[in-house]
Chains A and B, each alone.
Chain A
Amino acid sequence: MEKENDQPEVPLGPDGKPLSKKALKKQQKDAEKAAKKAQRQAQQAAEADTQVTEDFSKDRYGNMAMLQSTEKPDRRLVRVEELTPSLAGETVWVRARMHTSRAKGKQCFLVLRQQQFNVQALAFVNDKTVSKQMVKFAANITKESIIDVEGVVQKVAQPVESCTQRDVELHVERVFVVSASAPQLPLQLDDAARPEHDEEDASRPRVNQDTRLDNRIIDLRTTTNQAVYRVVAGVCDLFRATLTGKGFVEIHTPKIISAASEGGANVFTVSYFKNNAYLAQSPQLYKQMAIAADFEKVFTVGAVFRAEDSNTHRHLTEFVGLDLEMAFNYHYHEVLDVIGDMFVHIFKGLRDRYKTEINTIQKQYPSEPFKFLEPSLRLEFPEAVTMLREAGVEIGDEDDLSTPDEKLLGKLVKAKYDTDFFILDKFPLAVRPFYTMPDPNNPKYANSYDMYMRGEEILSGAQRIHDPEFLTERAKAHEIDIEKIKSYIDSFRYGCPPHGGGGIGMERVVMLYLGLTNIRKTSMFPRDPKRLTP
């Protein structure tokens, strides 16, 4: 280890030439550094020498052998969130991650993290159980390592503000490393968890989106992300529960399909033995076929693929679609009522069941709480056009809404009705797909609707044409090759009830509910035109 300290009288570089002044200085500095290091090491070695003999807590710490399921100890591991003053004085075992460790003389503060929860632990040298070496070992455990800790729960006089378990700390008795982390982390969790627009903290490092996504498994460990994906799960759970409660049946549809359902431009082509196949853009056809097959009310949760080369904050090439379709009796507003009601259930469920998670997310990504009305607000397209015109937008009666128009309309509706969710009914027929049922009273419009959250579209739906002849006529009007959609039209030949439905992007709903700015924040492993890994 010892470096050569004595310098030659005429300093020569590696190439044999005399060194420049600058290089000389550098060399000198290096030499000084090396000397200091050597001294320190010697001192440490000496200290260790004197102490080795006194290490009475040898069996109370160390690296655990690779866990290969060799034993089944009778030991209960307590969850970090269970560490409350009610356990004060008790000795417990905890398995958690080493979030941070900070050594200070004879003691060492650790923060133990388990999912969204963390607790402060303290190892300090005493005469019987904890030796100096043990504290040193604890201080040197690398961040993010998984450790087993035995300790006594103690109430604290001053609440620990930096932890979720504010009222207690854990006095360490034993500590073993179950799985060590590499010492260098590609990103620091504290940096990744810092609020994006915190002006006081503007100088401190943050982690940008791409670095996060490149090291997704570490990024996903932040308390914010732990909460986000619990909310994502909540949306799916509430979607299923609400619809099942309304008599819907969950179905599973193929994602490898023989023909593109709507226009061939934005589908992924995959080779399928000797032919080509496509990845489904939506379960549209299959939902409708299930209706024609007498399932009445169906929904499906599954991957949906879009081969659009759009690199925006709200587009993914693969996302989770929550789709539903239902037969109705006389008026498609029966469907609209069910969907509107379903959203109210989801919003209420999130508000009531996921308070903790939403608060956690708000700390990093602050946003206005999501507001909604029950029953959901329903406006009609001509009203929206009037509102936009009043605000100075030039828009034709039958024009589709552009993205900026949608955003502005969202703001106007929020100002007037104070809701972040609304339904816009009666879209112009000209801007909707061929299978959309025209409005009986005004053929310029359709029985078709969009739904918006915070001014962004999250659902597009309509009453579908269930009459094969009329469907053919509309397909011809849209200049679609009838041969290509023959099997679709044929599925309505043997009697099909009138029906309607819609599809939602799960990631988008969560993003907009939480007021996040990028859809990649709500997709665990996002796929976009530029990202295929991890």
Chain B
Amino acid sequence: QAQLEGPVRDIVVNANPSSPPLSLFILYELLKQQFRCFGSVHVHSSVENVPEGLCKCLGNGIRSDLRNRTDFQLAITLIWKDVKPSPQMMMSAAYQTPIHGESNVARYLGRILQPSYDAQDPVTATEIDTWVDMAGTQVLLGNNKERAASLRSLNSRLGKHDWLVGSGLTLADMVMWSALHQTGQAAGVPANVKRWMQACNGQPAFQSALKLTQS
């Protein structure tokens, strides 16, 4: 179990409402299982007319026990803001500059879920990193050619395995799944990828993110 010091660790993610970072919602579900964790969503003054569904997407307003913020270990503050080209994350203004890119945000949250991420099995960790990288650079921010290429390697990998890395769900699956949805490729994927996407859709942690893709 990770140790979180201080009153509440508030992770701020700035994201553009035109491309919601879906992996964040999956990770939020997983974090909730491990930590006293709450989410809140704000709209920054740089954007207007954010759809209702996005304003309520971390289920804020349902802290019915009315505990203080500082009774929680972890907070995810999602701010819909005019940020380009990718989301940004802030933890501590005193220690860091903003962290850019959905895949890097996901890496950070993944390490909170599993602090031994890098130490335990470096080979697996590197494999996951490779797929997360591909999702971040070639799928999310890549051109059509790059996207087609990554879809091909994805399809060939998933021909032999159920999941992208190892025998179960990893960060690689979450970020790749999110990237395919955001770039509008989810509908026309090859057979192996389609089967894998359906397996992802069946995971409880994917439910809230899945809902956002349908609204």
**Residues from chain A with Cβ under 8 Å of B45 in the complex:** 347-348, 351, 370-374
Q: How far is the CA of A413 from the CA of B42 in the complex (A)?
A: 14
**In the complex where A372-B45, A373-B42, A415-B90 touch, is A382 in contact with B7 (Cβ < 8 A)?**
yes
Q: Are A380 and B70 in contact (CB under 8 A)?
A: yes
**In the complex where A347-B45, A372-B45, A418-B79 touch, is A379 in contact with B90 (Cβ < 8 A)?**
no
Q: Are B90 and A416 in contact (CB under 8 A)?
A: yes
Residue interface mask A154-165, B partner, CB < 8 A = 1 = 000000000000
Q: Are A417 and B94 in contact (CB under 8 A)?
A: no
Which residues of chain A from 360 to 380 have a CB within 8 Å of any chain B CB? 370-375, 377-380
B3 nearest CB across to chain A (Å): 15
B212 nearest CB across to chain A (Å): 20
**In the complex where A412-B94, A416-B12 touch, is A380 in contact with B79 (Cβ < 8 A)?**
no
Nearest B residue to A412, CB-CB: B93
B134 nearest CB across to chain A (Å): 30
| 22 intermolecular pairs with C-beta atoms under 8 Å apart | A331-B66, A333-B66, A351-B45, A371-B45, A371-B46, A373-B42, A373-B43, A374-B45, A380-B7, A380-B70, A387-B92, A387-B94, A390-B92, A390-B95, A391-B94, A411-B93, A412-B94, A416-B10, A416-B12, A416-B91, A418-B14, A418-B79
* Interface assignment of A383: CB less than 8 Å from any CB of chain B: yes
Q: Are B81 and A418 in contact (CB under 8 A)?
A: yes
* Interface assignment of B154: CB less than 8 Å from any CB of chain A: no
Chain B residues proximal to chain A, CB less than 8 Å: 6-8, 10, 12, 14, 42-46, 66-71, 77, 79, 81, 90-95
Q: Are B69 and A378 in contact (CB under 8 A)?
A: yes
B92 nearest CB across to chain A (Å): 6
Q: How far is the CA of A37 from the CA of B24 in the complex (A)?
A: 84
* Interface assignment of A310: CB less than 8 Å from any CB of chain B: no
**Residues from chain B with Cβ under 8 Å of A379 in the complex:** 69
Q: Are A386 and B7 in contact (CB under 8 A)?
A: yes
Q: Are A383 and B10 in contact (CB under 8 A)?
A: yes
Nearest B residue to A385, CB-CB: B7
Q: How far is the CA of A441 from the CA of B70 in the complex (A)?
A: 12
Partner of A380, one of B14, B42, B43, B69: B69
**Residues from chain B with Cβ under 8 Å of A351 in the complex:** 45
**Residues from chain A with Cβ under 8 Å of B66 in the complex:** 331, 333
Partner of A377, one of B42, B81, B91: B42
Q: How far is the CA of A382 from the CA of B10 in the complex (A)?
A: 12
Partner of B44, one of A348, A371, A425: A371
**In the complex where A331-B66, A382-B7, A418-B14 touch, is A390 in contact with B94 (Cβ < 8 A)?**
yes
Q: How far is the CA of A390 from the CA of B9 in the complex (A)?
A: 13
Nearest A residue to B93, CB-CB: A415
Q: How far is the CA of A499 from the CA of B110 in the complex (A)?
A: 44
Q: Are A417 and B12 in contact (CB under 8 A)?
A: yes
Q: How far is the CA of A348 from the CA of B46 in the complex (A)?
A: 11
Nearest A residue to B67, CB-CB: A441
Q: How far is the CA of A391 from the CA of B96 in the complex (A)?
A: 11
Q: How far is the CA of A380 from the CA of B71 in the complex (A)?
A: 10
Q: How far is the CA of A347 from the CA of B91 in the complex (A)?
A: 27
Residue interface mask A413-438, B partner, CB < 8 A = 1 = 10111110000011000000000000
**In the complex where A383-B7, A387-B93, A390-B95 touch, is A417 in contact with B79 (Cβ < 8 A)?**
yes
**Residues from chain A with Cβ under 8 Å of B14 in the complex:** 418
Nearest A residue to B91, CB-CB: A416
**In the complex where A373-B43, A373-B44, A418-B44 touch, is A382 in contact with B70 (Cβ < 8 A)?**
yes
Q: How far is the CA of A394 from the CA of B118 in the complex (A)?
A: 35
Residue interface mask A95-133, B partner, CB < 8 A = 1 = 000000000000000000000000000000000000000
Q: How far is the CA of A373 from the CA of B10 in the complex (A)?
A: 16
**Residues from chain B with Cβ under 8 Å of A439 in the complex:** 68
**Residues from chain A with Cβ under 8 Å of B79 in the complex:** 373, 417-418
Q: How far is the CA of A378 from the CA of B75 in the complex (A)?
A: 12
Q: Are A375 and B46 in contact (CB under 8 A)?
A: no
Q: How far is the CA of A264 from the CA of B68 in the complex (A)?
A: 35
Q: How far is the CA of A442 from the CA of B91 in the complex (A)?
A: 27
B194 nearest CB across to chain A (Å): 39
Q: How far is the CA of A115 from the CA of B94 in the complex (A)?
A: 46
A11 nearest CB across to chain B (Å): 77
Q: How far is the CA of A429 from the CA of B14 in the complex (A)?
A: 34
**Residues from chain B with Cβ under 8 Å of A331 in the complex:** 66
**In the complex where A371-B46, A373-B44 touch, is A383 in contact with B8 (Cβ < 8 A)?**
yes
Chain B CB within 10 Å — which of A351, A374, A426 has the most?
A374
Q: How far is the CA of A439 from the CA of B70 in the complex (A)?
A: 13
A432 nearest CB across to chain B (Å): 16
**Residues from chain B with Cβ under 8 Å of A413 in the complex:** 93
B166 nearest CB across to chain A (Å): 35
**Residues from chain A with Cβ under 8 Å of B70 in the complex:** 380, 382-383, 426
**Residues from chain A with Cβ under 8 Å of B6 in the complex:** 386
Query: When A and B form their complex, which 6 residue pairs have the shortest distance between CB atoms, in order from nearest?
Result: A415-B93, A373-B42, A382-B7, A390-B94, A391-B94, A416-B93
Q: Are B43 and A374 in contact (CB under 8 A)?
A: yes
**Residues from chain B with Cβ under 8 Å of A383 in the complex:** 7-8, 10, 69-70
**Residues from chain A with Cβ under 8 Å of B77 in the complex:** 377, 417
B53 nearest CB across to chain A (Å): 16
A141 nearest CB across to chain B (Å): 46
Q: How far is the CA of A38 from the CA of B150 in the complex (A)?
A: 94
Q: How far is the CA of A373 from the CA of B43 in the complex (A)?
A: 5
**Residues from chain B with Cβ under 8 Å of A390 in the complex:** 92, 94-95
**Residues from chain A with Cβ under 8 Å of B90 in the complex:** 415-417
**Residues from chain B with Cβ under 8 Å of A426 in the complex:** 68, 70
Q: How far is the CA of A333 from the CA of B66 in the complex (A)?
A: 9
